[in-house]
């Protein structure tokens, strides 16, 4: 067992011994199918604390020929896979944490330093098989393979740290990418190369230097969806085990979605909440809100409006294809939004090509970022949301209408119902913006409610629904929005289409709230009607 060559299985043993370990060994079966094929190059990108390093330790424990891991994997999913024994502890594994190399070299000659240390490790096992003066890692591996025909599995953690932490050094980035290409591409000694990071493979020029890699990112995890975070079934089991409320867990940490798995949870935050038996924002332990603020404040037309839409619970269309897979090259707002998807600040629906803020934990990060300046008007709306909710629960429709007027005045420059070119937006777009305003104006309701935009009812969609979390003792709220019509008509629609029946499993008081925006209403443009019903 070495430092970089065949690091053993202790890392995975620690994970299994931990208070919470969720079985993700099925990933090994997916990877086994790719060994020794043209698809043996895998780049998996996910946000911080989404289990990337743990997955690499698991793969190392499974493939590393220097240890016996059969008993370690007994009882887990992979033990029942037909490929389990075929590849178990059969390979030389080279495990590289690029973050460590970058820190130790301070960004200078990082690849040269890496080659020196890995060759030193190889020399202890295979020193007699290669030229002792050789200082190029790829050449050393070629010589070893020529005499032994032993294949290597490369596991590379934080592969993209050079792109993230040396953003201004394009020369260093290209040198690093060329090093990886020379080390891995078209090398018969490579049985598998599995890289993890936050960003997909960096593009420069007309092509990627690492175009042999298949990418599994937050915009498309493909067959690895199940292993990206915790699934709904896994979180339900944890909630039962630790006596935690499943709906609140979802409100805090759910929201990442893919084609097959529509509910994917932030794994690290779920573990923290279960172990501490307390729901809170654990994201702050991995990122600082200043990093998010940098991207929120970028001066791209429409970006602020999109962020406000998402803060209000809405979704925005985004083109993820133009993103250059770095943290420096931005041409449009779509590039910024795509980066936020990869960083985990936004969820992404690949079918609809829409981005959204996934959960309460991330909403708090946006609030923290806005609180330090540049978003004063939005912050005033958020701070007034406690009073608006209290007025609503009290049934004071006039006070609610006045509160919405004030909220709209604050953010009119960002979230207007009017269009400078045509005079007014279409009714559909205006209602969409009105729904975003409602989401902002009732921001504090997220403490006690699960806020759902466009809840399917069987006879249409309820515009905004507030479902109370367990034990809060507050009524549900169904909001219907109209533009240049009437608040009374909104109430009639809720009743006629029986929107309240969509609140499956809910029993108790429901507030029906009809809101209309009158484009010629003068200073008081919002009208509101509130009714109470029992279910």
Mean per-residue pLDDT of the chain: 91
The pLDDT value recorded for residue 431 is: 80
- Inter-residue contact 441 to 392 (CB < 8 Å): no
Tracing tokens 């037309």 back to the chain, one arrives at 301
Long-range contacts of residues 170-175, Cβ cutoff 8 Å, at least 24 apart: 170/204, 172/107, 172/110, 173/202, 173/204, 173/326, 174/204, 174/209, 175/111
Enumerate residues 6+ apart whose C-beta is below 8 A from 413.
377
Q: At how many degrees (to 10) do helices 246-253 and 232-242 cross?
A: 130
For the record, the structure tokens of 255 come out as 């929201």
Tell me what pLDDT residue 422 has: 37
Q: Indicate if the pLDDT at residue 305 is higher than 60.
A: yes
pLDDT of residue 203: 62
Q: What would the pLDDT profile of 188-219 be if each residue is shown by its tens digit? A: 999 999 999 999 887 655 446 788 999 999 99
The whole-angstrom separation of Cα 404 and Cα 267 is 37
Rounded distance between C-alpha atoms, residue 210 and residue 190, angstroms: 15
- For residue 286, what pLDDT is reported? 54
For residue 44, give the 3-state DSSP assignment.
strand
Flag whether pLDDT at 533 surpasses 80. yes
Of the candidate ranges 16-20, 36-40, 155-159, 451-455, the one whose mean pLDDT is the lowest: 451-455
Where is 316: in which H helix or E strand? strand 316-317
Question: What are the strands, taking DSSP E only, across 126-235?
Answer: 152-157, 190-197, 203-204, 207-208, 214-216, 230-231
pLDDT digits (tens, 9 = 90+) for 46-97: 998 899 999 999 999 999 999 999 999 999 999 999 999 999 999 999 999 9
Give the tens place of pLDDT for each residue, 112-155. Answer: 999 999 999 999 999 999 998 899 999 999 999 999 999 999 99
Q: Do domains 10-216 and 380-534 have the same CATH topology?
A: no
Backbone angles phi, psi at 91, to 5 degrees: -130, 155
Lowest model confidence (mean pLDDT) among 161-170, 398-407, 418-427, 450-459 = 418-427
Burial of 420 (C-beta count, 10 Å sphere; 0-12/13-18/19+): exposed
CATH of 10-216, one of 3.30.1330, 1.10.3470, 3.40.50, 1.25.10: 3.40.50
In this model, does residue 417 exceed pLDDT 90? Answer: no
Q: Residue 288: which pLDDT band, with cuts at 50, 70 and 90?
A: low
Instruction: Enter the tokens of residue 382.
Output: 């958020």
Q: Which helix (H) or strand (E) holds 463?
A: strand 461-468
Report, at the CATH architecture level, how domain 380-534 is classified.
3-Layer(aba) Sandwich (3.40)
Determine the pLDDT at residue 423: 42
When pLDDT is averaged across residues 416-422 and rounded to a whole number, the result is 48
- What DSSP element (H or E) covers 377? helix 376-383
CB 442 within 8 A of CB 451: yes
Question: CA-to-CA distance for 491 and 515, rounded, in angstroms?
Answer: 9
pLDDT for 327: 85
What is d(CA 144, CA 483) in angstroms, rounded to the nearest whole number? 73
Chain segment 347-389, per-residue pLDDT in tens: 999 999 999 999 999 999 999 999 887 899 999 999 999 999 9
Q: Mention every residue, 6+ apart, whose C-beta is less than 8 A from residue 387.
A: 403
269 DSSP β-pair partners: none
Burial of 287 per CB tally in 10 Å (0-12, 13-18, 19+): middle
Of residues 225 and 507, more confidence is placed in: 225
Q: Where are the domains of the chain?
A: 10-216, 227-373, 380-534
Q: Write down the pLDDT at residue 113.
A: 93
Confidence at 99, pLDDT banded by 50, 70, 90: very high
């Amino acid at each position: 067992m070495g430092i970089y060559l065949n690091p053993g299985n202790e890392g995975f043993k620690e994970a299994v011994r931990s208070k919470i370990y969720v079985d993700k060994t099925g990933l090994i079966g997916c990877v086994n199918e790719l060994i020794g094929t043209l698809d043996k190059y895998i780049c998996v990108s996910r946000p911080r604390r989404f289990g990337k390093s743990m997955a690499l330790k698991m793969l190392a424990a499974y493939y590393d020929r220097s240890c016996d891991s059969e008993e370690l994997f007994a009882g887990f999913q992979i033990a029942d896979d037909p490929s389990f024994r075929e590849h178990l502890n059969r390979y030389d594994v080279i495990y590289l944490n690029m973050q460590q190399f970058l820190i130790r070299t301070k960004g200078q000659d990082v690849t040269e330093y890496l080659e020196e240390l890995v060759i030193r490790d190889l020399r202890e096992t295979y020193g007699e098989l290669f030229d002792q003066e050789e200082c190029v890692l790829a050449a050393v591996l070629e010589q070893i393979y020529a005499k032994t025909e032993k294949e290597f599995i490369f596991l590379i953690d934080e592969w993209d740290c050079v792109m993230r932490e040396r953003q201004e050094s394009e020369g260093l980035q290209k040198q690093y990418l060329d090093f990886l290409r020379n080390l891995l591409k078209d090398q018969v000694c490579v049985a598998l190369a599995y890289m993890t990071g936050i960003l997909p493979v960096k593009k420069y020029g007309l092509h990627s230097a690492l175009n042999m890699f298949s990418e599994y990112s937050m915009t498309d995890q493909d067959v690895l969806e199940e292993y990206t975070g915790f699934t709904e079934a896994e979180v339900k089991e944890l909630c039962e085990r630790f006596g935690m409320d499943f709906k609140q867990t979802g409100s805090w940490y759910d929201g990442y979605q893919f084609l097959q798995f529509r509910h994917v949870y932030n794994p690290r935050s779920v573990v923290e909440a279960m172990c501490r038996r307390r729901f809170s924002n654990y994201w702050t332990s991995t990122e600082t809100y200043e990093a998010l603020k940098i991207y929120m404040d970028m001066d791209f037309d429409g970006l602020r409006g999109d962020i406000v839409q998402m803060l209000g619970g809405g979704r925005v269309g985004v083109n993820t294809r133009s993103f250059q897979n770095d943290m420096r090259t931005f041409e449009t707002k779509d590039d910024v939004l795509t980066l936020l998807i990869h960083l985990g600040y936004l969820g992404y629906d690949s079918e609809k090509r829409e981005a959204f803020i996934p959960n309460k934990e991330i909403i708090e990060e946006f609030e923290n970022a806005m609180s330090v300046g540049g978003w004063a008007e939005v912050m005033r709306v958020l701070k007034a949301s406690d009073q608006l909710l209290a007025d609503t629960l009290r049934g004071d429709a006039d006070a609610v209408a006045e509160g919405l007027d004030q909220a709209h005045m604050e953010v009119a420059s960002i979230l207007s119902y009017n269009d400078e070119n045509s005079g007014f937006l279409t009714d559909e777009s205006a209602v969409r913006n009105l729904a975003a305003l409602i989401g902002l104006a009732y921001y504090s309701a997220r403490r006690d409610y699960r806020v759902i935009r466009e809840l399917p009812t069987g006879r249409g969609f309820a515009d905004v629904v507030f479902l109370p979390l367990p034990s809060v003792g507050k009524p549900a709220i169904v909001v219907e929005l109209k533009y240049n019509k009437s608040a009374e008509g909104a109430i009639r629609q809720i009743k006629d289409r029986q929107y309240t029946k969509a609140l499956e499993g809910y029993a108790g008081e429901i507030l029906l709230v009809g809101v209309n925006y009158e484009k010629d209403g003068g200073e008081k443009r919002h009208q509101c009607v509130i009714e109470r019903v029992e279910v």
